[in-house]
Homo-oligomer: A and B are copies of this chain.
Amino acid sequence: MRRVALIGAGLSRFGVRAAGFRELLAEAGRACFASVPHLTPKDIEGLVVGAVLPERAAFQSHIAPLAAETLGIQPSKLSARTEHMCASGTAGIRYAYAFIAAGLADIVMVLGVEKLNLPNMGEAVLNMGTGVDRDWEACFGLTAPPSFALAAQLHMAGYGTTEEQLAHVAVKNHTHSSKNPYAHFQNGVTLDAVVCSRMIASPLRLFMCSPITDGAAAVILASEERAKEITDKPVFIRGTGQAVHGFSVSSLDPDYASWPAMKQAAGDAYAMAGIQASAVDFAEVHDCFAIAEIIAYEELGFCSKGEGGPFVMEGRSDYGGDVVVNPRGGLMGCGHPLGATGVAQAVEAFWQLRGEAGERQVPEVHIGLTHNNSGMGEHVVMIYGRE
């Protein structure tokens, strides 16, 4: 199997955007090309696009060829869209990764995109519910916020996790995103503001949830040989793991505060990379809700089970701590344009590992991890490194 590296990365501005899918794709794609001198759209052999809702938000399928045409790319080896709800972007990166690792292509661009905000925001909110089981759960109101609220309640009951600890995740990530010029939220947030914000699904309040955001992200992957020809700072994919333990909430082990599929995905990725959790310098984890980041500390092995709350309170997931979690601001600070999120996590890994993350640069980084999930039972982990 050939080694594969990221050689370029770019983002659109995340937020409530007047742009559609085409404009967001163009913005991120062009920024990505600008990051790789001398590489042009003609060099790209494949294009994979992660996206969830173009059919509902723009009455548009077939968005991979649309993206190719928009960017002047004519894929000669690979063209596809990937969808795995909130993990659609990482599913796209893994398609390109496998294709290059197998020797089927040398240079592939991966885009992630979502246009979620609509003139009718009721429709936009409803669209987010397509990711859960329509027949058996969504129809009864068991969409994402109440599902993760169940996990939060069990975590509080079982491990003594507090509302203040949950709020601290939001404060940390909004502080990080205040240093990210691409983020949806750049003003930070106080602990008081978080704990006084509107209740969404108890105990999850508004600022403990990721917002409805438009945006796009892009990376270019290359075989080791081509990567080294093109850049002297390639960022290698060192490991990957994915596990799905169930779709409907009712299919999962009722201990919703434990996510064994995440532990399994991380374990496989660590084994492939030949590292332990302690080697991770920074991690972009899927903080769709504050409880998800606390459980992520535990299942990724950054702390023991049940200790996620104290872990964030003691600053161990912040700059100067054990591992900097969500330096770009995560889903809560940057926003969560579904298909774009996994790719945006890879963009941050690229910038951090090259020392190009500006004000939010994590010092002395060697290993970065990204974690993308699309429910409590579906997880995917990537490990990146400069070597």
A338 to chain B: closest CB distance in Å? 9
How many copies of this kind of chain does the complex include? 2
| Residues of A in contact with B, size category | 35 or more
Asked if residues A80 and B68 are in contact (CB atoms below 8 Å), the reply is no
Nearest first, the 8 A-B pairs at minimum CB distance are: A65-B247, A101-B102, A102-B102, A62-B85, A98-B98, A69-B247, A61-B130, A80-B91
A240 to chain B: closest CB distance in Å? 8
| Contact A102/B61 with A247-B68, A248-B69 known, Cβ cut-off 8 Å | no
7 residue pairs of the A-B complex, CB under 8 angstroms, read: A65-B246, A69-B246, A69-B247, A75-B244, A81-B84, A95-B95, A98-B104
Asked if residues B55 and A130 are in contact (CB atoms below 8 Å), the reply is yes
A252 to chain B: closest CB distance in Å? 10
Asked if residues B61 and A131 are in contact (CB atoms below 8 Å), the reply is yes
Instruction: Tell me the A1-23 residues at the B interface (CB within 8 Å).
Output: 1-2, 20, 22
| Contact A244/B65 with A94-B80, A102-B98, A378-B79 known, Cβ cut-off 8 Å | yes
A228 contacts chain B at the CB level, 8 A cutoff:
no
A243 contacts chain B at the CB level, 8 A cutoff:
yes
Select from chain B the residue with minimum beta-carbon distance to A135: B22
A247 partner, pick from B52, B62, B80, beta carbons under 8 A: B62
Q: Which residues on the B side are within 8 Å of A59 (C-beta)?
A: 129-130, 134, 138
Asked if residues B375 and A78 are in contact (CB atoms below 8 Å), the reply is no
Asked if residues A62 and B375 are in contact (CB atoms below 8 Å), the reply is yes
A195 contacts chain B at the CB level, 8 A cutoff:
no
A352 contacts chain B at the CB level, 8 A cutoff:
no
Asked if residues B134 and A60 are in contact (CB atoms below 8 Å), the reply is yes
Q: Which residues on the B side are within 8 Å of A69 (C-beta)?
A: 246-248, 251
| Docked complex Cα distance between A19 and B74 (Å) | 38
Known: A65-B247, A65-B377, A79-B244. 15 other contacts (CB 8 A): A1-B102, A20-B135, A56-B56, A59-B130, A62-B83, A62-B85, A62-B130, A65-B375, A68-B247, A78-B94, A79-B91, A80-B82, A81-B82, A101-B104, A102-B102
Q: Which residues on the B side are within 8 Å of A98 (C-beta)?
A: 95, 98-99, 101-102, 104
Asked if residues A55 and B56 are in contact (CB atoms below 8 Å), the reply is yes
Q: Which residues on the B side are within 8 Å of A101 (C-beta)?
A: 98, 102-104
Select from chain B the residue with minimum beta-carbon distance to A78: B242
Asked if residues A61 and B65 are in contact (CB atoms below 8 Å), the reply is no
| Docked complex Cα distance between A134 and B65 (Å) | 13
Asked if residues A244 and B74 are in contact (CB atoms below 8 Å), the reply is yes
Select from chain B the residue with minimum beta-carbon distance to A133: B66
